[in-house]
Amino acid sequence: MRTIPVPVLRAASLIWPEELPFNRNWRTDVTHPVYAACAATIDHLQPRAHGGSNSELSNLVTACWPCNLQKSEFTLHRLGWALAEITSSAWDGLIYAYPDLWEEGHPNATAGDVRYHLAWLAAFFPPGSTST
């Protein structure tokens, strides 16, 4: 499943708050279903409930929200699942569009949104990067 990082979705929601509503508490009655369907989440190969690390990179993978919920506290082995191969896909989760979405949406941002997005933009596009 192709996923989209939540900050990218939230920047789009700033531009189109009626069409792509987002609720800070992810209330499903007021948050667009694309968040639940496509948001990229961090999942743990060895579940946290079974002592899996939250900081060791080898224990962390990207999962869509539905797979993360289904996996729950189980191991991949227990579920009969296997990790998807990392491919050289050109899909970047729409990160390429994030600076433009933020540029367009920032007038609608709260102070908290500004802090959130500036931190994520710095993470995706560190100083000296040439991605923008």
Task: Report, in Å, the least distance between residue 48 CB and Zn ion.
Answer: 19
Residues within the interface to Zn ion (CB under 5 A): 1, 64, 67
Of how many residues is the chain composed?
Answer: 132
Nearer of residues 89 and 129 to Zn ion, judged by Cβ: 89
Task: Report, in Å, the least distance between residue 110 CB and Zn ion.
Answer: 31
Residues 6+ apart with CB under 8 A from 67: 1, 43
Quote the CA–CA distance of 31 and 29 in Å, as a whole number.
6
The backbone torsions φ and ψ at residue 7, rounded to the nearest 5 degrees and listed phi first, read: -60, -35
The backbone torsions φ and ψ at residue 44, rounded to the nearest 5 degrees and listed phi first, read: -115, 125
Nearer of residues 81 and 96 to Zn ion, judged by Cβ: 81
Task: Report, in Å, the least distance between residue 58 CB and Zn ion.
Answer: 20
Task: Report, in Å, the least distance between residue 1 CB and Zn ion.
Answer: 4
Report the residue number whose CB is nearest to Zn ion. Answer: 67
Q: Three-state SS for 2?
A: coil
Nearer of residues 47 and 99 to Zn ion, judged by Cβ: 47
Handedness of CA 14, 20, 26, 30 (dihedral sign): positive
Nearer of residues 67 and 97 to Zn ion, judged by Cβ: 67
